């Protein structure tokens, strides 16, 4: 019996060894190891890009589990830039909106006696008198058409927590930040800032009685050293007074840090541009606004902290912002729709979304 068993196990061992030898042999001679490792993910990356390219905004929210499973893989795929496609966006945005010349109101693109029409109500306008004219900067900072090679737009989502993306963000030529996002964790969010937006309702709620008690706001904006503060002063009528107050307070206390106003014509054209591309929402987020500016001005656009969902790529809960958990206005914005649009652009190779930890 024992001999019988021994014979069988010997035979089994021989067969195993032969199969093993064959596999190793095949592996070394006919199939290059790198090819085995690379070919299949490459195919998978291509498939995923195609899949995300054909996703429609109306299909959100998607099945979160399979969506994030795919995104996790996509984030590890080597990023492919499609220069043709990228330049197409730049040319289109320049033609429709012209951030270079028109992103904010300046003494070059605005004249005394002009009436500035409000972005959301074209029947109402504000006269540019001496006071208003004197608030405007002489020109836009990137007027001479110089292109930047890499720009980062830092969204405020909680996925930035523990991301370690700070160094990568700081290494960009230009960094845009949104809605007075605090910079209290430089390891994750960096600190470099070249432009920061503020939302008038955020000022109204967060800094009441601004003229008598300017210090809290001054402290907050000092985090961006001398980066200009950009406000939509002519989006809605309520925005104007608040924006002018912010301008006054900074001019008196931090004259080296300018306050500039979005050109309502720029925002209106941009809104219509995205609407023509199928994006249906009441108002663009400032994230998409600044991403559009970056596409026009920069060769490579990297987005960080853009994530409108409640769980991250690994199914863990994620806060609305990296610094608090106060949600956005669901009535005004359609963030998941915007996200699908940005994801499509990432898959095309026009921009780069960063949703996972940075290396």
> Smallest distance from the beta carbon of 156 to ligand NAG, in angstroms?
11
DSSP code at position 222: G
Distance CA 196, CA 293 (A): 13
CB nearer to ligand NAG: pick between 16 and 54: 54
**Do 313 and 69 contact (CB within 8 A), yes or no?**
no
**Using CB under 6 A as the criterion, which residues of the chain lie in contact with ligand NAG when the complex forms?**
82, 84-85, 94-95, 98, 100-102, 109, 141-142, 144, 146, 161-162, 182, 184-185, 323-324
Nearer to ligand NAG, 157 or 286 (CB): 157
CB of 30 to ligand NAG, least distance (A): 29
Count the neighbouring beta carbons within 10 Å of the beta carbon of residue 337: 20
Please confirm, yes or no, whether 333 is among the known catalytic residues: yes
- Single out the catalytic residue among 20, 320, 321, 333: 333
The residue number with the shortest CB distance to ligand NAG is: 101
Minimum CB separation from ligand NAG for residue 91, in Å?
9
Nearer to ligand NAG (CB atom), residue 244 or residue 323: 323
For ligand NAG, the closer of residues 98 and 236 by Cβ is 98
Of 298, 202, 213, 285, nearest to 249 (Cα)? Answer: 213
Structure tokens at 63: 């099945």
Are 229 and 257 spatial neighbours (Cβ–Cβ below 8 Å)? yes
Task: CB nearer to ligand NAG: give 90 or 283.
Answer: 90
- Residue 51 Cβ vs ligand NAG, minimum distance, rounded to whole Å: 15
What are the backbone angles phi and psi of residue 60, rounded to the nearest 5°? Answer: -90, 150
Q: Which residues pair with 154 in a beta bridge?
A: 177, 304
Conformational region of residue 354, where left means phi above 0, alpha means psi within -120 to 50, and beta covers everything else: beta
As measured in angstroms, the least distance from the Cβ of 173 to ligand NAG is 11
Return the number of other C-beta atoms located less than 10 Å from residue 36's C-beta: 10
Question: Which are the catalytic amino acids?
Answer: 333
């Amino acid at each position: 019996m024992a001999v019988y068993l021994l014979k069988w196990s010997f035979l089994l061992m021989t067969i195993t060894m032969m199969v093993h030898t064959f596999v190793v042999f095949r592996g070394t001679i006919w199939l290059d190891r790198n090819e085995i490792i690379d070919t299949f993910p490459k195919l998978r990356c291509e498939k995923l890009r195609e899949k995300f390219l054909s996703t429609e905004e109306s299909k959100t929210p998607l099945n979160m589990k399979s969506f994030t499973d795919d995104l996790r893989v996509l984030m590890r795929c080597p990023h492919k830039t499609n220069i043709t496609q990228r330049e197409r966006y730049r040319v289109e945005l320049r033609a429709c909106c012209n951030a270079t010349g028109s992103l904010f109101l300046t003494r070059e693109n605005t004249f005394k006696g002009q009436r500035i029409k409000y972005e959301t109500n074209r029947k109402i306008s504000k006269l540019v008198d001496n006071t208003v004219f004197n608030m405007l900067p002489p020109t836009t900072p990137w007027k001479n058409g110089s292109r930047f090679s890499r720009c980062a737009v830092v969204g405020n989502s909680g996925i930035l927590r523990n991301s370690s993306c700070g160094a990568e963000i700081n290494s960009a030529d230009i960094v845009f930040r949104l809605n007075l996002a605090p910079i209290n964790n430089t390891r994750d969010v960096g600190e470099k800032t070249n432009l920061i937006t503020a939302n008038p309702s955020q000022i109204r709620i967060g800094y009441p009685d601004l003229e008598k008690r300017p210090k809290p706001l001054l402290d907050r904006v000092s985090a961006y050293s001398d980066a200009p503060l950009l406000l939509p002063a002519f989006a809605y009528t309520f925005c104007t007074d608040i924006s002018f107050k912010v301008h006054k307070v900074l001019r008196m206390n931090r004259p080296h840090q300018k306050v500039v106003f979005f050109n309502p014509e720029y925002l209106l054209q941009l809104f219509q541009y995205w609407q023509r591309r199928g994006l249906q929402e009441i108002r663009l987020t400032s994230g998409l606004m600044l991403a559009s500016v970056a596409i026009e001005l920069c060769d490579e656009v990297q987005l960080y902290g853009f994530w409108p969902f409640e769980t991250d790529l690994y199914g863990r809960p994620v806060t609305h912002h990296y610094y608090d958990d106060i949600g956005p206005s669901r009535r005004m914005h359609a963030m998941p729709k915007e996200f699908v649009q940005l994801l499509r652009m990432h898959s095309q190779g026009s921009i780069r979304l960063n949703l996972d930890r940075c290396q």
